[in-house]
Amino acid sequence: MTTPFFAVAVGHTTEILLTLFIMLAAAKITAEIFERLKQPAVVGEILAGVLIGGSVLGWVAPSEFTNTLAEIGVIFLLFTVGLETKPSAIFKVGKLAAIVAVLGVIVPFVAGYLLMLAWGAANVQALFIGTALVATSIGITARVLSAMGLLDAPTSRIILGAAVIDDILGLIILAIVSSVAEGRVDYIEIVTTIALAVGFTAFIALVGAKVLTNFAPTIERLRTSDSFFVFGLVLCLGLSVAAAYIGIAAIIGAFLAGMALAEASEKNHDMHKQTSAVTEFLVPFFLVNIGMQLKLEVFRDTSVIVLAIVLTILAVLTKLIGCGLGAMSLGWRRAAQVGMGMSPRGEVGIVVAQIGLSLAVINDSLYAVVLFMAVATTLIAPPFLKWLFATEKAAKDDVDSDDAGGIVAQGDFCKIG
């Protein structure tokens, strides 16, 4: 079949369709295997990416299309998580979440920076690696908590609140470090970014939710079928774009869009189901894409392996210590839940590494080390999280004396994928 007909009509799009088919099928087969082994499906889907990616089978390679689809996937994931997160619930834990976030930013940043200097890296390199350790992958954590039906647990609220805050902090630090790497520091730009980020978040969370709750009946009366679902899609994309233009991550905008609609959509089960369906379709591409980024061949160099392992341990420990310290008022078990919940780095760490690479500050090996750290923390956290929550649940089932911290077991509805 070599006619131009096939080259044009079948060629490019078919290749992408084939890639999507392989990614989705591989994700779901490994997810099924992991479910049967009583392991989190999210880990299976990421490992599916490692398996089908360039390092092992080489069936698919990340492309601009899969990267963008992955980004849209994580945007919808955060939107769905936002829909389950009422602003009032976050405000309740706001102060604690802020402390957790700030300590969880400072400790990993400083530790990563010092480790790299001790390893013999240049100052700018060390700054970048420190920055890559800062931001929690709210997507991975949310996916794990959601699949376990734990989005309503009190520690989950703190984790999600703190993850939003540390993503914002992380992106501000990245902007500063990038300026340093370029040999210039534009204070006005940095201050503007900070003001916009804080103002945008506060505005959506405080004003947006109230306005939307008042407007919900009007939206539901529109002639367009499933108007509330459609409105949600438009708002999700719109605030994602707005957040990106302001200088915070698009996923934060999507989360805020969901949060602003959480109360308005509370009784609209159809809208929640429809949004979950879109998310369920798109999220596997996000997870598999993370796995596909891992290039195993650079680890032939032993020093790269050692650094990757050391950095991964440091990444987990610094969030456990930093965030755990912040949450110590909840008792050690919940502090550990919060610390472990904050430890997956995922996409933000990878974005930092990509920017470092594009500025020629980071070389291929350091890039692989950051990718390894991001993927490894993502793989390590879920089983520990599951165990930490399970032991609490068991303890609670035995004693049944602690009401305020009850874990609300949600139904299949929240198992978005």
Which residue, 241 or 328, is less far from its own copies as judged by CB?
241
Q: Are 288 and 27 in contact (CB under 8 A)?
A: yes
Name the burial class of residue 4, with classes exposed (0-12), middle (13-18) and buried (19+) by CB atoms within 10 angstroms of its CB.
Answer: exposed
What is the radius of gyration, based on Cα positions, of the chain? 21
For residue 208, what are its two tokens? 């947006």
Among residues 44, 55, 50, 52, which one has the least CA distance to residue 21? 52
Cβ atoms of 81 and 160 within 8 Å: the answer is yes
Query: Running DSSP on this structure, what letter comes out for residue 206?
Result: I
Tokens 């610390």 sit at which residue? 339
Nearer Cβ to its own copies (279/312) = 279
The least CB distance from residue 358 to its own copies, in Å, is 5
Q: Which residues contact 74 (CB under 8 A, 6 or more apart)?
A: 139, 251, 283, 286, 347
287, HSE (Cβ side, Cα atoms, 13 Å): 33
CB of 196 to its own copies, least distance (A): 10
Helix pair angle (364-399, 346-358), 10° resolution: 170
Do 346 and 374 form a contact (C-beta atoms < 8 A)?
yes
The two three-digit tokens of residue 365, written as one number: 């090996």
The structure tokens listed for 121 are: 């890296």
Half-sphere exposure of 255 (CA within 13 A, CB side): 27
Of 29, 59, 69, 39, nearest to 290 (Cα)? 69
| Single-letter amino acid, residue 255 | F
Q: What's the first-to-final CA gap in the chain, in angstroms?
A: 37
Helix axes of 346-358 and 269-292: crossing angle, nearest 10 degrees: 50
Residue 41 C-beta: closest distance to its own copies, Å: 7
What span, in angstroms and rounded, lies between the C-alpha atoms of 171 and 98? 16
Which single residue is written with the structure tokens 């089978």?
Answer: 57
Q: Closest Cα partner for 373 from 354, 339, 350, 356?
A: 350
